[in-house]
Amino acid sequence: QIYHRAGSLLPPSDADYKFLQIYFMGNSSEELDTRCAINSSVKKSVVKQLQTFFHEHNKLVKLFKAALDRMPSDDHKIVIRADKRPTKEHPRRLNVPTIDEVAIVVVDEHFESRDIILHRRNDQLQRVYETHRSYDALQYPIIFWQGEDGCHFSIKMINPRPGAESNKNISSMNYYSYRLMVREGEDNHILKCRRLFHQYAVG
């Protein structure tokens, strides 16, 4: 079974930058060298293009960078709700132009087990559940390069005839059947991702 784990936005003081943390090194050349050192067979020019692309267009990367800039201490953490909810005023809520539903909170608050809770700096890993709306974008960033929401339990079913929202929520099977369906006259980029598509389809 494929699953995703996420750590803190910054590494402990005695550790190297890894995974998501590499985005926040603050130096594009060092970031590029770190990525290429992980796998010496990659083309540096391609990695550089992808790195620049994600910094410019991926909403989650922008969100994490904005949150990190506003975290006053290592006691704070960023929370991404598992299901999309209407935005409400909250004294600790972080307003990021590209994505709402994000909060910087103190340690002693409690959240649902499926929420992603990322600390500013620690050595803990948290599992990102498959039912979290950001799971697909975190696990398959090349497919979902904008960092857009995936499946979550708040998506309502649409009645195809009037095109109106129903009171029922969709299931995971409903969602992924819709995403993987071949439709005449519509281009589905997911189906063109070859081996990555196969991994996504069976994951």
SS (H, E, C) the chain: CCCEEECCCECCCCCCCCHHHHHHCCCHHHHHHHHHHHCCCCCHHHHHHHHHHHHHHCHHHHHHHHHHHHCCCCCCEEEECCCCCCCCCCCCECCCCCCCCEEEECCCCCCCCCCEEEECECCCCEEECCCCCCHHHHHCCCCCCCCCCCCCCCCEEEECCCCEEEEEECCHHHHHHHHHCCCCCCCCHHHHCHHHHHHHHHC
12-62 pLDDT per residue, tens: 888 888 888 888 888 889 999 999 998 889 999 999 999 999 999 999 888
| pLDDT (0 to 100) of residue 91 | 40
Answer with the residue of higher pLDDT: 156 or 69.
156
Whether residue 86 has pLDDT greater than 80: no
User: 0.85 cut: is pTM over it?
Assistant: no
| pLDDT (0 to 100) of residue 50 | 93
129-167 pLDDT per residue, tens: 888 888 898 889 999 999 998 888 888 888 777 777 888
Average pLDDT score, the chain: 79
Domain ranges of the chain: 4-154
| pLDDT (0 to 100) of residue 100 | 43
| pLDDT (0 to 100) of residue 166 | 81
Whether residue 112 has pLDDT greater than 80: no
